[in-house]
A and B are shown apart, each in its own frame.
Chain A
Amino acid sequence: MFFKVQIPLIITFIVGAALVIAMFVPHFPFYEANENFSIYFDLIAVFAFILGGGNLLKIHGDRIWRKGRDWKYSIVTVVGFLAMLIVGTLKIGGPPGFTGDVSASDSWFGFMYYSMFVPLQSTMFSLLAFFVASASYRAFRAKTKEATMLLVAAFIILIGRTPLGHYVTGWLPPQLQFLHIPNLSNWILSVPSMAGQRAIMIGIALGIISTSLKLILGIERSYLGGESK
């Protein structure tokens, strides 16, 4: 138990507390800890990529081996993964010289990046244009007072964020300019919406501060599997 629970808790405490203290104490060892821990974390994150790759091969390899559901598509995943990995890690097909930038656009790796990764990523992302439309069709209905607030705010901003807003209410006399839709939408963003955002931010900050504190002090330890509370 000591090695499985106590040591991790001690490590978390030391690292977390040192980083909090470093905010107030620009002195050895806290300052140095603050500087180095970020880099340490990034390095551990790279090991996590490797762990992820290992798991990906394990999962899809298993599926192919057992001829599980959609196993033929798993071959696509594995082939894509290995091809990209080998070309990139060994810098096959450029960049010129081993020291060059791995993602140089004229290398093989660059080619795979631009011909597959980029279009797939952008297209997946662009599906949002459709989903945002279908979601607004369903959600923006004046069903309750709350839903009406949501609807009205969204509607004004929708119009106000395009040149459309200028055409719709551009004719208003100067004393009613505050009702001009671009002005109104800016007002909504910078006053009531900002008020809501601020309250959310303050609340979140407190939630995070409290959770961080519980983690540092070992009160919250579900990440260890929640043993010995």
Chain B
Amino acid sequence: MADDRPDKEQSSRPRKGVIDVLKAIDRRIIFLLITLGVVLPLIFHLVFSVRTSPIVQAIFDKMESLPPGSKVLVSFDYAPSTVPENQPMAEAICRHALAKDFKVYMMAVWATGPPQVDALVTNVIERDFPGKVYGKDWINLGYKAGNQGLINAILLDLKGMYTTDVHGDPIDGFEMMRDVQNLADMSLIVCIGSGFPGVREWVQFAGDPGRIPVAGGVTAVEAPLLYPYYPRQLLGLMGGLQGAAEYESALVLKYPQYKEHAEQAVRLMGPQTVAHLVIIAFVIIGNIAYFGERSRQKRAKKA
């Protein structure tokens, strides 16, 4: 695949024209413009409206269709580095689940997951659902090492792996854990992930073998990779900040009472759009430079 590597060409002539300037743009100029493209919309609070696409709506509809008391497992499989994308998804799902009176089981296949649960507790549960009781309405099972092996193990025996919750309290002491043996007891698994192990592993090791509906929320990088699993193996998918913003829009449309705190991703779409514009502009400039160079070379050949 050497063909799509257009740089490192020799420029053959000394005279400097517009094309040479465009060709030789220092990457630090690109870096600077990207920074401005992100910072300025943040300062000036630029917000665009967001429409929900079917692949996100599918998750929302599934959640809406479950009866109160359903058990929903949310796995926090990401690190602080992807919080801007993943946290709004996790919060939108949990907010929705608690609004529908589901029992929410939170866990993590990533060691960096549990602190994100703590952030969610502060942002969602303490703020919008102060009446929900730990161990009855929601529980934080914490992290266990083992990657896909852990998923494999809890599919067969959840309590065998999780003998305590994240605080080290025995698991059988919690009301909502009494009738849970393994993953088959869950009505829905939502994995919020940003890599390996993540949604794909939940599909492969829990959804497929255990026949449990799995929905996912992933960074935009992972999303195209998961499309092949949708809709047969994967119920629905939130891809990147846009996916999170779409879920938030659907949520706020149905439950306007949460509007104040539930629109984080929607707000972050402003810098997103402007930065995209900057990149698009550079792609165009790059092509102008390339074609200019090529026609000049052709003319040089003729002469």
Which residues does A use to contact B, with CB under 8 Å?
A: 34-35, 37-39, 41-42, 45-46, 99-101, 103, 105, 113-114, 117-118, 121-122, 124-126, 129-130, 132-134, 136-144, 146-147, 150-151, 154-155, 158-159, 161-164, 166, 182, 186, 189-190, 193-194, 197-198, 201
User: Do B83 and A122 have beta carbons less than 8 Å apart?
Assistant: yes
Query: Which residues does chain B contribute within 8 Å of A45, judged by CB atoms?
Result: 145
Q: Which of B63-71, B99-107, B257-265, B279-287 contacts A (4 or more CB under 8 A)?
A: B279-287
Query: Number of B residues whose C-beta is below 8 Å from A?
Result: 62
User: Do A46 and B286 have beta carbons less than 8 Å apart?
Assistant: no
Main secondary structure of the interface of B (DSSP, over half): helix
Q: How far is the CA of A182 from the CA of B168 in the complex (A)?
A: 48
Which residues 83-140 of B sit at the A interface, judged by CB distance below 8 A? 83, 114-115, 118
Query: Which residues does chain A contribute within 8 Å of B290, judged by CB atoms?
Result: 141-143
Q: How far is the CA of A37 from the CA of B152 in the complex (A)?
A: 11
Main secondary structure of the interface of A (DSSP, over half): helix
User: Do B227 and A194 have beta carbons less than 8 Å apart?
Assistant: yes
| Minimal Cβ-Cβ distance residue in A for B33 | A133
Q: How far is the CA of A163 from the CA of B285 in the complex (A)?
A: 22
Q: How far is the CA of A34 from the CA of B156 in the complex (A)?
A: 11
Total A-B contacts with CB atoms under 8 angstroms apart: 152
Q: How far is the CA of A186 from the CA of B1 in the complex (A)?
A: 26
Q: How far is the CA of A193 from the CA of B282 in the complex (A)?
A: 24
User: Do B149 and A163 have beta carbons less than 8 Å apart?
Assistant: no
Within the complex, which residue of B34, B82, B227, B242 is in contact with A189, where a contact is CB–CB below 8 Å?
B227
Query: Which residues does chain B contribute within 8 Å of A144, judged by CB atoms?
Result: 3-4
Q: How far is the CA of A21 from the CA of B273 in the complex (A)?
A: 51
Contacts A125-B82, A162-B269 given; 19 further ones with Cβ under 8 A? Answer: A34-B152, A42-B149, A46-B145, A101-B114, A113-B115, A118-B80, A122-B81, A122-B83, A124-B81, A133-B34, A139-B4, A142-B287, A144-B4, A162-B48, A163-B49, A164-B273, A189-B224, A197-B224, A197-B228
